[in-house]
Structures are given as structure tokens and as C-alpha cells.
Amino acid sequence: MKKLRFYFSFILSGVLLVLNTVAQTPTTTQVAGASKDNTITTKNNALPNVLILATGGTIAGAAKSGAQSAYTSGQVTIDAMVNAIPEVTKIANIKGEQISNVGSQDMSFDIMMKLANRINALKDNTSVDGIVITHGTDTMEETAYFLNLVCKTDKPVVLVGSMRPSTAISADGPLNLYDAIAVAADANAKNRGVLLVMNDWIHSAQTLTKVSTTAVQTFMSPIKGLIGTTAYGTNEFYRYPSQKYGEKSEFSIEGATKLPRVDIIYADADMNPDLIDAAVKLGAKGIVIAGVGNGNMNKVALDACARASKQGVVVVRSTRVATGNVARNVEVNDDQLGLIASYGLNPQKSRILLSVALLKPRKLDELQKIFMEY
């Protein structure tokens, strides 16, 4: 009987010890794996809440071997990407939504608008402090710039990707994602517009561009420089973007189902104007010329652009050169020909801005002012 009482007392003491331990940790709720609402981390009320909107890309890519360049984009789920960086649970609570699962070469305006509408719907949602978007790098600058124009929130919105698939020997995706979450969770990232975080650098959507087909340091902000840097979740911010964005932007896609057609035409030596004329005939509402030098092109191409402008098609002169502004009336008489100068925007961003701007009728002088302000 004494032995029975001893064993009973021993078991009771163990149960009380476990209950006491549980009672002392009331702020954390463990969630195993991905639930129906895509919760993929523990919940800690002391941490900021970050929502990941996944679109696919190399960061979610996989290959048969860790030492090969060929791979397939969009093969890895959000929870698998986050589970690869368990340390992230110390800096934020994570939820995920799969918006699409495509390589960025297949990114569309439909997906961009879906992202923008989702972000705008979260503007006043106090349960989301920051947003991360996983995205392929090929068209990331276009999506980032589009969101910068039409998303009306001061919350951090951070795009992130990778140059190597998740199965690579030295995959860059996990640390990029960790840093992007850290930036999105940082209150100092608010009111800086849409950002891109890769390879320890924080870029503005206004200034970034992809400069290498394969290098992990593929994004640069060559004219105005970085917004800041990040190192294993420690962020340092240098500046705010200088152009209009976010809540200061006049653009809206509310009620829009598609964007007007705007084509990019590449200029070169002895350029043939046929593609300009064809774009007009096929219904383009705008044309962006990736011009030589300071947005230049030969006389027959300029004449075709002038004809297009007289028919109501907006023509923007940008440049195929990596850096520098295309100013108005420098070597081309924009006033006489009815053309727009892109200033600091490259051809792909010029197309995004013109597509959004043409959602409502605008005069040429108004459009030129927009290209100077955005």
C-alpha cells in the first residue's frame, strides 16, 4: 500500500509540473503545418503579422539536380519555402496565399491586378502589418512598379525572388525570403512605397532594374541608389523614394477589368517603321520606343511615330541604354511631333505607367507631366 501511494504521488507531481509549464506560456499557439487558412508558423502575439502572396517564379522552382541550370518554376508551396527558414518564426507570424504559380515570363496584367486588389483590400486590416510577394525575377520590376502606382497603403509591400531554384547547391531563395519578411515586419519600412529585397539590398520599385541573366546580384538601382540594406533580418534604411507613389498616386484600378494595349518597339540602326504602323493598325493605344541613345530613332521611324500620334496613339520615347534620362526636346522636337519623353523610366516601366495612365482620357501635356512625376 505504501508503494502504491508513492507511485501515485510521483505521477501526480509530474502531471502538475506539466500543467504549470503550459500555464506559464499563454501567448504562443502552435499551429502544425499549413491549416485551411494557410497559417504556416506559430502565433506569437508580440510579433508583427506578415502575409505572403505567392505567384511562383524561380524562388519556388525545382530541378532534378542541385548542380544544373535547367529547372521548372513554381513547383514549391509557400509552407515549404517558409519551413526552410524556421528561424523566421522569431521575427514574424506568417500566413500565406497562393495568388498564382507561374514563371515570371508568364506574369500577366490579370495577376498584377489580382495582387493589387488583394493588397488594397488589406489597407485597413489591423491583422496584417506587412506583405511579402514571392515572384520570378524576369518581370519583377514591372509588377513592383505597377503595384507602386495603384496600391493605396502605407504598409510595407516587399517583392522577393531568387536567381537559383530551391534545389540548387547554394540556393539564394531562403535567405532572400527571410530578409524580405524581416523588412515587411519592420515599422521603419512603412511609407516607402513598394520595395524589392534580394541579396541583402532593399530597392525602390521606382529605381530597380534587372541587369544580369544569371548572377545573384541581378538587381541594381543605378541612378538614385538603394532604399537600404538588410543583413540576416537587421535592416538599415537610407532614404524615401523621390517620385509619387502609394497613397499620393492618382491612379486607381478600381472597377477595371483590363488595361489598354501598349506595345514596346525596339529601335536600332537603319530601323524599319513597319512595326510602328502595324502596332497602330492592330489597336495599340500607346507605343513605347526603346530608342537608341537619348531616346532617338531614325527619320522614317520618327515620321511613323508622328503619324501614330496624329491618330490618337500616345508615343513615348524611352531608351535601350541601361542608365540615364530621356529628356524632352533634346535631339527630337517632341512638341512638333506630339511625343512624350520618358525621363527616368526604362521601356518596361514606361509601358506600365502609360497603360495605367490611359485607363482614362488624358491630354499629351498631362501625360508628359505624369512621366516627370512618377
Selecting among 39, 41, 55, 58, the annotated active-site residue is 58
CA angle 15, 18, 22 (to 5 degrees): 140
Centroid of chain to Cα 126: 22
d(C-alpha 103, C-alpha 113), whole Å = 17
State which amino acid sits at residue 102. Answer: V
Whether 28 is a known active-site residue: answer no
Distances (CA, A) of 180 to 133, 319, 343: 9, 31, 30
Residues near 29 by beta carbon (within 8 Å), at least 6 away in sequence: 42, 43
* Cell numbers standing for residue 55: 505567384
Angle at 208 between CA 206 and CA 210, to 5 degrees: 145
CA atoms within 13 A on the CB side of 139: 18
User: Are 131 and 157 a contacting pair, CB within 8 Å?
Assistant: yes
Give the residue ranges of DSSP H helices in the chain. Answer: 2-23, 78-83, 109-121, 140-150, 173-184, 274-281, 299-310, 334-337, 347-357, 364-373
3 state SS of 115? helix
List the catalytic residues: 58
